[in-house]
Amino acid sequence: MKKKEQIERDFEQLVERQRQTIYSVCYLFADERQQADDLFQETLIRLWQGFDTFEGRSTEKTWVYRIALNTCINMDRKHRRRKDTSPLQMDMDLYAEEERCPAASRLHRRIAKLHPFDRALILLWLEDLPYDEIAAILGITVNNVSVRLVRIREKLKTITD
């Protein structure tokens, strides 16, 4: 088997293992399904571009979160400057789930009003990651994670839909 084929197979396996993680990040930064799909696709491109340089100094999940969050934050900034998206398809539909649960929909709308870094932080917390892993992904201290989460949770209580 050629090395390129093995790399492609390893990448496909990584995507399969981390699909939910990637899409969860994309979903939180998207206003609609098409945008989430676009973010997912862009994240896959970025993961592929960095796949051969991943050295394993962090866990695979931490690396994927970091790439996905950075991609979504950067795309969010670009999206706010220009409002165009192109449709892409994904085999997950968190938006359909949101329609069945009004509380989830309300939470998603409130989180969408946060600054991108705060959205990333709350997403990782909602994914039930330990504070030290959140800190590693975001490049901040564990204490900073704790303090910011308290502030974000308080802010979410005051945001109106």
Give the pLDDT confidence of 115-129 residue by residue, as tens digits.
Answer: 989 999 998 998 889
Give the 3-state secondary structure of residue 56. coil
Q: How far apart are the first and last CA of the chain?
A: 55
Q: Nearest to residue 112, comparing CAs of 79, 85, 144?
A: 79
Q: How far is CA 130 from the centre of its chain?
A: 16
What's the confidence (pLDDT) of residue 97? 53
Q: Residue with structure tokens 């939910």? A: 20
**The two structure tokens encoding residue 6:** 């093995």
Cβ contacts of residue 154 below 8 Å, gap of 6+?
none
pLDDT at 127: 87
* pLDDT at residue 159 in the model: 87
Which residues constitute the domain of residue 53?
3-158
Q: What is the chain's pLDDT, residue by residue, as a tens digit (161 residues)?
A: 558 888 899 999 999 999 999 998 998 888 888 889 999 999 999 999 999 888 888 899 999 999 999 999 888 777 665 554 444 444 444 445 555 677 778 888 889 899 989 999 998 998 889 999 999 999 999 999 999 999 999 999 898 86
pTM equals 0.65
Q: Could you give the residue ranges of the DSSP H alpha helices within the chain?
A: 3-29, 33-51, 60-81, 94-100, 102-112, 116-126, 131-138, 142-158
Total count of domains within the chain: 1
